[in-house]
Structures are given as structure tokens and as C-alpha cells.
Chain A
Amino acid sequence: MTANDLFIALPELFILGMACLIMLIDLYLPDNRRGMVSFISVMTLVFAGIMVMRWQVTDAATVQYAFNETFVRDSMADVLKLFCFVVLGAIFIYAKHYLRMFKLFQGEYYVLSLFLLLGAMVLISAASLLTVYLGLELISLSSYALVALDRDNRRGSEAAMKYFILGSLASGLLLYGLSMIYGVTGTLSLSGISEMAALASNNITLIFGLVFVVIGVAFKLGAVPFHMWVPDVYHGAPAAVTMLIGSVPKLAAFAMAIRLLDNGLSPLQDQWMGMLTVLAALSIIIGNLVAIAQTNLKRMLAYSTISHMGFMLLGILSGTAQGYSAAMFYSIAYAIMSTGAFAVLIMLSRAGVEAENLDDYKGLNQRSPLLAAVMLMLMFSMAGIPVFVGFFAKWLVIQAILDVGLLWLAVLAVVFSVIGSFYYLRVVKLMYFDEPETEVKVTAPADFRFVLTINGLAQLLLGIFANALIALCVASF
């Protein structure tokens, strides 16, 4: 380990140090000064962002490896990390309001979230099987604890237990797969695995290992048929935690898929393409169909996540640079959309009651036109209607699979995106066409409303000025 290694991993080390520091500060803060924790956490993200941007890697020539090639800093890693910071910063501001409302405002939320972020960053930068697993477990353990944050809530505890058991099973399966890959190739380094696998691409043990790796990735993404935990966890966890689980870990899971499947096992592309095709098609079909039947917004968003992850997998399964950049665009766009949708849910919640029933959205346009407009943009964006960013995401992945000749999959995807648009339209219908059932004013702190407005407008602006984000994603591969 040299000083240069530490420099390459500087943002990670900074987050680690700050997470520990915040844990300490929190111990000595009186309850009325707790807002400080939130502020320091957001500033931590700002500085980490500056560190990444100051020494940002923008092309293949300047890729940096550290710690004996177990850690890599490339263009994709830096872009994804920056978006993790942006999304998590917004989440911290949303969460402060939520945690205060539900009397959960403890430093733990911020510390655990920062550890989750650290795990995500390690996973995004992983260059060896060990780092992949390390990052993944750091994300998982933090999120198990976060789901049970409201420990007196039965639904939350049940969700945490379910998440823990299924998550451990998935981690076990992944580890099993990784061990087989290690057994065949004799190396933990992803680039080394790639070289060795090219020589043994028909090796049955290797393919067996691949199956378990794909299962692990599918579980983390929540792709059908490994999606069972998603609705329960989304529903059971406090909204501030659901918002977190739906964003940063999805960006990390995308990176994990790229690291393992492309950087590591690209010689087995023919095999994993077929597996991912099944996962993607099933996710798109089942996610969209089951979402229609939901009356609870959190569960509806959970199923919509499943279908979105199916769309994202379309980009990965194409196995081309264009497809990877499309999937990257998709996961970034999705993280921003989903964060915004949960923020609207939080804003509509009242002390102790989450606004999770669809009927809570009736007549929102009369109660708060701005909030309704933000939700309208988010819903149309998720439905994939231009000119919102969700459309560009869908367009790019469909273009990627058409490019590799999977016309039937493209047709299936667009048809189910039409079917899926129905449940987003239903939210818009409730907000705009129905009369409100209550006249209670919708209120939130100014910083909350400000960030939420930006979040809503981002749907529009990232669409109209999609060029910049598309260029970033294209340059990453």
C-alpha cells in the first residue's frame, strides 16, 4: 500500500472518517441541536463530491488502480459516485423532515446511510471479487439495520427480518458462485478472471458459478423471480429508508453487474445474455402487471421498481458499450425519479401517518399545485413519456437491444411500458381529476420544498438537455 493508493481512494476514506466522526458527534449533541448531524452529513457529501470532481477520471487512458489492483477508479465509477452523492444529499434533506415527523430523528440514520454509501462506492470501484463482496455486504448490513430503524413498528421489523434472511441467502449464493469462479480461474482479480475465462469459456463449473453470480445480481436489483423481498421491504420500511434503498443501492447494483459480468465474465457473454433476457422480460411483465393491482403507493412503486430494473437489464444484456451506457443512464434517471416520488409521499405524510394510500393523493392539485405538478412530472417520467428523462432512458435501452437484433424483446418492452403507463396515469388522475377529501394544508420546511422542486424540474431539464448526461454515460464505456 502506497500513498498513491490512499490518494486514489480518498473520497472513500473521507466518507469513512466522516461517518465515524458523525457517530461520535451525535453522542454529544443534545436533542434540540440534532439538526447539525444532517447538516454535517450533507456537507460531507459536498466535499466528497468536490474530491471526486477535482481528480475526476474522464477517459480510459487515465484509469487508476489501487491496492494491488483490487480497487479501480474509472470514468464510470466517478460518474456513478457523483450521482450517489447528489441523490443521497437530496435524501438527507427529505429524511430530516420525515424523521422529525415520525420521532425517529437519530444520528444512526445518517451514520448508517453514510456506511451504505461507502459500501456502494467500494462496490462501484471494485476490481476484484473480494472488493465486490466487501462493498455488497457493507450495503446489505447497513440497509438491514436501516429497515428496522422504527423498531417498535411491527411491519418494519417484519420487513427487516425478511430482508435479512433473503438477503443473506442471496449473499451466500453469490459467494458460492464467486468461489467456483475462483476455483476455475485461480484469481480474484476481475481482469485476471476475464483472461482465464476466455480460455475456458465452456468450462461447466465456470458457467455454474456464473449462474449463482447472476442470481446474486438479480436479487440485489430485485429482478423477477428474485423480487419477493422488494414489495415487503418497500412497504414495511419507513419511507425515508425506502427512498434510500430504492436509489443508491440500485446504482451500486448496476455497477456490480457491469464489474462482474462485463469486466470479469465477458467471455461468457453468450451464456449470461440468455439468463438476463429471461430475467428482464419477466421483470418487465410481472412488475408492470402486478403494479396495476396495488392500492398502496409504496407497493405500487415497489412493483414499478421491478419493471424499471427489467428495463435497465435490457441495456446490460445487450452486452455492447452502447447498451452499458444506456443502462447506466437508466439507473441514474431511475434513482432520481424514485427519490422524488418518495419525497412527495413524505411531504404528504402527517405526523405518524404515511401518505401511502393512493386515495391520499385525491385532489392534490387543489391542495398544492406545485406538489401536484412535481408528482405529475415524476409519474410521466416514470411512464416514459417525452420530454421527461424517463423517456430518454427507455429509448436508449430499446435502441441498445434493437442494435443486437432482439426485436421481439424491444416490442415486448414498449408494449408493457404502455400497460405500465396506466398505473402512473391513475396517480395523475387522482391528483388532478378528483376532488380532495381533506382540506389540510400541505406543509414542509423550505429546504425540503426547494430540493423537491429541483427534483421535479430535473425530470424535465435532464430530458430537454439530455445530451450532457448521455455524453457522460457514453464516455464511460
Chain B
Amino acid sequence: MSVHLLSLLIWLPILGGLAVLAAGDQRPGVARILALLVTVAALVSSIPLYTGFDGGTAAMQFVERMPWIEAFSIFYHLGVDGFSMPLILLTNFFGVIVVIAGWSSITKRVHQYMASFLILQGLMVGVFAALDGMLFYIFFEAMLIPMFLVIGVWGGERRVYATIKFFIYTFLGSVFMLVGLIWLYLQSGSFSILDWHALPLSLTAQTWLFLAFFTAFAVKVPMWPVHTWLPDAHVEAPTGGSVILAAIMLKIGGYGFLRFSLPITPDGSAYLDWLMIGCSLIAVVYIGFVALAQQDMKKLIAYSSIAHMGFATLGFFVIFAIMRSAADSDTAIEVAQGAALGISGGMIQMISHGFISGALFLCVGVLYDRMHSRDIDAYGGVANKMPWFAAFVVLFFMANSGLPGTSGFVGEFMVILSAFHANFWYAALAGLTLILGAAYSLYLVKRVLFGDVANQEVAQLEDINVREALILSVLAIAVLLFGVWPAPLIELMQPTVDQLLNHVMQTKVP
């Protein structure tokens, strides 16, 4: 059983999705219940992934390896380490959330909606579990199809523009990676990512490869300046689509940097780390200001996502600056600690942002279901009518601005601490986010929740129902839990982080 656990987690949702599709348009109730059962089953099946995971080793676990395309030595090769395991759990967790969130708000073609999300879930788990470059690419690209349909069919007014922009943008980014993957195969005779980690490459080759990976993952994260698809996609997507996009899909970009860019092209990464750090800092500061100016709630959260993901990429790539700046002054142990803080901080930030942004989009969805407006000006004094809801919203926005005690604080603090090891100014600029994040978060909370009841529609709002309260409470617990007690997560990925750092510190130039 446990031997094929990862396959189960990939194919259960996909086949479940096909089963939901077979339920047909006439029986939306059946489609909903079937989808819920499948996602719960997937979540329950992923518990052994956590309990059976050996936190003391950086080696790949739950490995499955079967020949797939023999002529080009492509394997159906799956496995997880400290980076991918938490992300798979996060994916399966949000699978259930999304089905519940769309329970009553989706009334049109329910079976296709549920099936799209189930198939998407399986493909995303596949992305995190794939250890073969071609397998990874196939999951990575196939993911676009269900998301394209979700935004296009169940989205808002400008959904067609948004979804085609989303598709073309991400497709264009990833084809360069495809060329890079094929080039790596021609160099190494293997599509195995682990083989590529050990492959010596010249600095020129590494630089080009790094740029190929960069186009794919930077678009996915998304990093400034290739972020423009995200606000459009988020605004037009249905609530479930926004949640998955923010909570999981963006993480795939960050994960790609950890799985591909850093270990395969360490020298290229070191050579171009200024690019990554620069883009990340611009994302943190400039996009923070952009978020402040938004009138649309979803757009504000989308921009805040870009800024927060900037932290993750900053954490991943600041390690090179730490090694350089510390070469003469600090001791080796301190350097290693600083760098490890950056990478684990980035990972924690990604997972915490998954919970927080998912929760924020759900909150906007709750309001949108009632008033069909995302415009901040349409609201005011909502707290008077929806006190329970207001409590959740305040909590999540506080977490979003990095309040200590919430998970949002942990990742940001670790990355800023790590940036201090590299350069005071990196840390200072990144630290601005604590002000900016608080500014745009609280400004939104003030305008939407507090004050007098703004208009007749707000006056008629009803507080959240049990279903909504349930998912928001689960997310609230997660945000607080990781806020006060992140140690299990950090310890879990520690060996993987250490191994990555050891690997990255050694040059691969022959």
C-alpha cells in the first residue's frame, strides 16, 4: 500500500474527477457529494505520508520508479523530500476546502466544476512528487487545462481575457524550460532530476539553463515584472479558483526554484542572484505600494500575494549573498545557519501564505456570494452585521501583515533575519513589508468592516453559516498553530535544507 502511496494521491483525484464527470449535469447533488468524498479520501490517504515520513534524512522517500518511455529513458519516478511532502499535504488540504467553498455558490455545471478541481488536484500532487524531468513538465503543463476552464467558465465578466492571458503567459514561460530540460537530457542521457543534480555543467550552460528555469518559475510565482497575469486571473476566477491559484499554484513556482534552479544550476544561481534578489525586493516594496492603491478586494489580495511570494524567493536566493559577504568575517557555522534560515524561512513563508491567502480569498468569496461586488467602496460597517465573519477577517489580515503569533510572522521574520546576514539594506527593504503589509491590510479592514453601515445592501447581510464558519475556523487554527509552534515543520525539512545548502555551496563547474 505505502509503496504506491504517491500514485494513489495522484490518480485518486483524477479518476474521481472522471467519475464526477460521469454523474452528469442533471444531478448536481451527486457531483458535490462524490467530489467531497474523493477529496476527503485523498486527504485521509495523505496522512500516512506525514506519519510515515522520516524527518531525519534528506533522501527521497515513498519512491516509485517504473520505466515509462524506454527509448528516451523516461521513468515514472515519484518521491518526496522535506520540500515536497508539506506541499502535497497543503494541496490535499485545500482540495477539501475548495469543494466545500463551492458547495452552494456554484450552481452552473456543478459536475464539470468539481471534476476540474479534482483533476487539478491530482496534477498538482504530481508536480510535487515527480522526480523525472519530463514527468514534471507534463504535470506542470497539464495543470493549465483545468485552471483555464475554471477561470473561463465560472469566472467574472472579463474571464475570457483573464484566462487566455493566464494560459499564454504561463505556457510561454514553460516552453523555455522544456528546451532546457531537453538540453539537459542530451547532455546527461537521463531525464532524472536527481541525476541532473549531480551533472557538472559549465558556467555559461548553467546561466542559460538558469534563465530557462527562471522564465518558467518566475511567471508561476509570479515575480515582478512578469506578475501582470495574476491580478487579472485572481479577479476573474471563481472563489475556488482564486484559492487554488494563490494557495498551491504559486507555490509550484517557488518549489521549482528549489528543485531545479538551485541544485541543477548552483553556479548560475550564484552568478545571477542579484537578479533574483532585485526582483524579489521590488516585489516586496513596489508591489506593496501597488496593493495599497487597489479598489478591488481580490486585486489587493493578489498584489499582496506577489509581495509575500517575493519573500520566499528572497529567502531562497539570499543564501549566495550570505556566503559572499560572510567569507571574511563570520565563522562557517554562522554562515550555514543564516543560509538555512533563508531557505526554511522561504518554505515556511510559502506554506503560511498558502493558508492565509486561501483564507483571504474565501473571505472575499463569502462577501461576494452575498453582495456580488468586490469593490471596497461598496462595503462599510460589515462588522455590525457579520460579527463572526469580521473576527475571522481581522485575524487573517493580521496574519497577512505578519503579526507575531500568526504563521505570517514566522516566515517573514526568518527571511529578514537571514537577509541581515547578507546585507543590512536587503533586510531593511524587506522589513518595509511589515509596515506596508499592515498598511494595506488594515486600510482594507477599516474600509470594509468598520464604521457605520454604508448602505441598504450591507444592512441586509447575514453572518456566515456553519459551513463557512467551519472552513474559516480550520484555516484560522492552522494559521495560529503554525504561528506559535512552527518547530515540527522546520525540523521536518531541516535535513533537506542542509543537504541542499551543502550541494549548492560546491561548484558544479568542471
Residues of A that sit less than 8 Å from B by CB: 365, 369, 380, 385-387, 391, 395, 398-399, 402-403, 407, 410-411, 414-415, 417-418, 421-422, 425, 428-429, 432-433, 466-467, 470-471, 474
Knowing A414-B178, A418-B175, A471-B70 are in contact, say whether A425-B137 is a contact too (CB < 8 A): no
B186 touches A369 (CB 8 A): no
A466 touches B69 (CB 8 A): yes
Secondary structure of the B side of the interface?
helix
A398 touches B160 (CB 8 A): no
Distance in Å from the Cβ of A110 to the closest Cβ of chain B? Answer: 37
B69 touches A429 (CB 8 A): no
Q: Does B398 contact A (CB under 8 A)?
A: no
The one of B68, B112, B141, B179 that contacts A386, using a Cβ cutoff of 8 Å: B141
- Chain B residue contacts of A380, Cβ below 8 A: 145
Specify the chain A residue showing the minimal Cβ separation from B111.
Answer: A369
Q: Does B416 contact A (CB under 8 A)?
A: no
The one of A386, A403, A415 that contacts B186, using a Cβ cutoff of 8 Å: A403
Q: How far is the CA of A407 from the CA of B171 in the complex (A)?
A: 19
Q: Does B149 contact A (CB under 8 A)?
A: yes
B138 touches A418 (CB 8 A): no
B70 touches A402 (CB 8 A): no
Q: Does B194 contact A (CB under 8 A)?
A: no
- Chain A residue contacts of B137, Cβ below 8 A: 386
Distance in Å from the Cβ of A456 to the closest Cβ of chain B? Answer: 14
A402 touches B186 (CB 8 A): yes
- Chain A residue contacts of B70, Cβ below 8 A: 467, 471
- Chain A residue contacts of B138, Cβ below 8 A: 386-387, 391
Q: Does B164 contact A (CB under 8 A)?
A: yes
B168 touches A385 (CB 8 A): no
10 A-B pairs closest in CB distance: A414-B175, A386-B138, A433-B152, A418-B172, A474-B71, A386-B141, A467-B69, A399-B182, A386-B142, A418-B171
Specify the chain A residue showing the minimal Cβ separation from B176.
Answer: A414
- Chain B residue contacts of A365, Cβ below 8 A: 109, 112
A467 touches B68 (CB 8 A): yes
- Chain A residue contacts of B159, Cβ below 8 A: 433
Interface residues of B in 216-260 (CB under 8 A from A): none
Most buried by A among B72, B142, B159, B171: B171
A433 touches B160 (CB 8 A): yes
Q: Does B420 contact A (CB under 8 A)?
A: no
Specify the chain A residue showing the minimal Cβ separation from B164.
Answer: A425
Q: Does B296 contact A (CB under 8 A)?
A: no
A429 touches B142 (CB 8 A): no
- Chain B residue contacts of A411, Cβ below 8 A: 176, 179
Specify the chain B residue showing the minimal Cβ separation from A380.
Answer: B145
The one of B71, B72, B168, B179 that contacts A421, using a Cβ cutoff of 8 Å: B168
- Chain B residue contacts of A470, Cβ below 8 A: 69, 71-72
Sampled A-B contacts (14; CB under 8 Å)? A365-B112, A369-B112, A380-B145, A385-B144, A403-B186, A418-B168, A422-B164, A425-B167, A428-B148, A428-B152, A432-B153, A433-B160, A470-B69, A474-B71
B172 touches A387 (CB 8 A): no
A425 touches B172 (CB 8 A): no
Interface residues of B in 118-165 (CB under 8 A from A): 134, 137-139, 141-142, 144-145, 148-149, 152-153, 159-160, 163-164
B183 touches A471 (CB 8 A): no
Q: Does B185 contact A (CB under 8 A)?
A: yes
CB 8 Å contact bits of B37-80 with A (1 = contact, 0 = none):
00000000000000000000000000000011111100000000
Knowing A386-B138, A429-B160 are in contact, say whether A421-B171 is a contact too (CB < 8 A): yes
CB 8 Å contact bits of B171-209 with A (1 = contact, 0 = none):
110011011001101100000000000000000000000
Distance in Å from the Cβ of B143 to the closest Cβ of chain A? Answer: 10
B149 touches A432 (CB 8 A): yes
Distance in Å from the Cβ of B448 to the closest Cβ of chain A? Answer: 30
Distance in Å from the Cβ of B213 to the closest Cβ of chain A? Answer: 15
- Chain A residue contacts of B186, Cβ below 8 A: 399, 402-403
Q: How far is the CA of A385 from the CA of B67 in the complex (A)?
A: 22
- Chain B residue contacts of A414, Cβ below 8 A: 175-176, 178-179
A471 touches B141 (CB 8 A): no
Most buried by A among B25, B163, B179: B179
Specify the chain B residue showing the minimal Cβ separation from A383.
Answer: B171
Knowing A421-B167, A474-B71 are in contact, say whether A369-B145 is a contact too (CB < 8 A): no
